[in-house]
Amino acid sequence: MWWPIGPYGTMMLVILLSTIPLRDLLTRDEPEKRLRLSELPAEIRAKGYHWHISLYVVMYVYKFLIDQHNEPMKPRVGGYTHWVHELEGEFTLWAQEAFRHDLLTDVLSFHYLFVYLFIIWFSPMYFILVRDHVMADKAALNYLVIYLLAVPLYLFFNVEVTSSYIPGMDALLYHDSWYLEFVTNNDPMDNGVPSLHFGLPVGLLILNRLHCRDKGIDIREWRHREFDLFVIANCVVYLFSIQYLGIHWIVDAIPGIILAIVCALFVHDWQPRIRTRPENGWESLIPEKRQLTTAAVFALLCTAALAMVAVDGPGNDEDIPNMRLGPDDVNIDTIEVHSLWDAVGVEVSNVGEHSVHAIILHRSLVVEHVDRGTVDWESIVSSLPPAELQEMVINPGISWQTEVSTPSVFDTHLILVKPAFDGEYSEVRVTMHYVDDELIWSAMLLSIPAFLIAGLVLAQAIGSEDEVGEQAADEEA
């Protein structure tokens, strides 16, 4: 499918065009609560929504930094997909094969990208446009905080997507001519744990319930109940689509839920402090001494654990594959652009028992040959001029090492791997060495906010238990 503005542009255009109609649909019983677009600039000034805009800018920069760390760190931290596979098996392959249909693939692929971006944008905008500044704050913070919490797992606990590791499972979303360029620019395909596509909306649902509990409102009578049901419905779809499309393991949803709980507790507790900061001053955002001490100790212990366990740890075994292929599979990995001067070292090691074909091509030579999870290897190879064809056959126990230059930000290359036999499956370990491959210390620094947030929630929970104990003691006295 060809479309001039691509997947991201299309998604954002649809999101912008659907924001007001969906707001009107959800508030059809209370039109007086709606904010007219002409009133939006004044509302932003009156309710102090400038920091919401800044938050999204900060998130863009922070995510860029995380993405710059993800691939260069992998030679030092490895991956843990084999653990997840041993625990879960290949249930997601059954889900894909049992329900596979081209129309379902198209619908769920669009939903996977569209609704995630939509919830990130629409949640705070909806609450702003219906004059609920408290929930607008919480929805915006939910996006920031849950991503911060996920950073240590994304950087130090790499888990490949199911379609890269389960033989016979197709990458229905990733291997498609319309999505391939967008995906290879934005998704490292090894951030399986946690699933924020599931965790982020779950965090919003928990925030809704915490908010209603504080207000003494039954969630079924809440004025935003229909929006809540909209989010619930999309969570149900996500739980299936992330399995069906060859992206997430079922296990990935569990850390997503755990982070959603931590995120919601933190945001619910801190939103009032952030909202009243202009009146109370910056000192009001400094935690109490006991909370701060607990959070600092927790962050120190977690950071030390990363240094001692994750770096050069059990995920870094060179004999463990990060790619497994069935007889008809063609798997793709991305060589990112990190330097315009230094080449990327690429190592493809055959750690299985059967030979494989491997080839490295510029992405532009591959895009038109992928469709709905199928990569047409033969048409790719036959269309290449002799100068471009450098196909390698890698035998068991042998590694192919080469270098790829990226003199332009548009020089994204792809590694394609295909079995050279008709047996059970092949196993390959792909490792890339970037010029900035010593980013462990800065990655730890980028992980500290997650540990501090979790530590503050832990301190909050301990404090609540102490208060309950003191109240019980007073009642007995």
59-93 pLDDT, tens digit per residue, is: 889 998 999 899 999 999 999 999 999 999 999 99
- 476 has a pLDDT exceeding 80: no
Of 287, 303, 333, which residue is a domain's last?
Answer: 287
Q: Please classify residue 468 by burial: count the beta carbons closer than 10 Å to its beta carbon, then call 0-12 exposed, 13-18 middle and 19+ buried.
A: exposed
pLDDT digits (tens, 9 = 90+) for 250-271: 999 999 999 999 999 999 999 9
Same domain, 69 and 167: yes
Show the tokens assigned to 380: 């790719």
Distance CA 149, CA 413 (A): 31
> Which residues lie closer than 8 Å to 261 by C-beta, 6 or more apart?
203, 206
Question: Is position 470 within any domain?
Answer: no
Question: Is position 476 within any domain?
Answer: no
Same domain, 273 and 352: no
| Cβ pair 113, 7 in contact under 8 A | yes
Give the per-residue pLDDT at 302: 96
Give the per-residue pLDDT at 80: 95
Same domain, 153 and 269: yes
Closest Cα to residue 433, out of 409, 455, 404, 467?
404
Question: Is position 363 within any domain?
Answer: yes
| Cβ pair 159, 252 in contact under 8 A | yes
Distance CA 336, CA 432 (A): 9
Give the per-residue pLDDT at 475: 52
| Cβ pair 325, 142 in contact under 8 A | no
Show the tokens assigned to 273: 């402090």
Question: Is position 420 within any domain?
Answer: yes
pTM: 0.92
Q: What is the helix (H) or strand (E) element at residue 371, kind and residue range?
A: strand 370-371
Q: Confidence band (pLDDT; 50, 70, 90) for 382?
A: confident
Same domain, 231 and 338: no
| Separation of CA 181 from chain center | 17
Same domain, 343 and 263: no
Question: Is position 455 within any domain?
Answer: no
Q: Confidence band (pLDDT; 50, 70, 90) for 195?
A: very high
Same domain, 374 and 327: yes
Segments forming the whole domain that contains residue 104? 6-287
Same domain, 76 and 185: yes
Distance CA 365, CA 333 (A): 14
- 442 has a pLDDT exceeding 70: yes
Same domain, 10 and 126: yes
| Separation of CA 387 from chain center | 38
- The beta strands (E) that lie in 372-458 are given as 374-375, 392-394, 399-404, 413-419, 426-433
Show the tokens assigned to 337: 């652009």
pLDDT digits (tens, 9 = 90+) for 310-359: 999 999 899 999 999 999 899 999 999 988 899 999 999 999 999 999 99
Task: Specify the amino acid at residue 284.
Answer: S
- 437 has a pLDDT exceeding 80: no
Rounded average pLDDT over 120-145: 96
Q: Please classify residue 217 by burial: count the beta carbons closer than 10 Å to its beta carbon, then call 0-12 exposed, 13-18 middle and 19+ buried.
A: middle
C-alpha radius of gyration, the chain, whole number = 24
Domains in the chain: how many in total? 2
Give the per-residue pLDDT at 281: 83
Same domain, 355 and 265: no
Distance CA 38, CA 15 (A): 19
Q: Confidence band (pLDDT; 50, 70, 90) for 464?
A: low
Give the per-residue pLDDT at 282: 84
Distance CA 302, CA 445 (A): 12
Rounded to 5°, the CA angle 136-148-294 comes to: 100
Question: Is position 261 within any domain?
Answer: yes
- 137 has a pLDDT exceeding 60: yes
**Residue 81 three-state SS:** helix
Rounded average pLDDT over 235-256: 95
Same domain, 242 and 376: no
> Which residues lie closer than 8 Å to 173 by C-beta, 6 or more apart?
108, 109, 112, 113, 179, 183, 245, 246, 247, 373
Same domain, 233 and 353: no
Same domain, 240 and 361: no
Residue 405 belongs to domain with CATH number: 2.60.120.680
Partners of 325 in the beta sheet?
Answer: 426
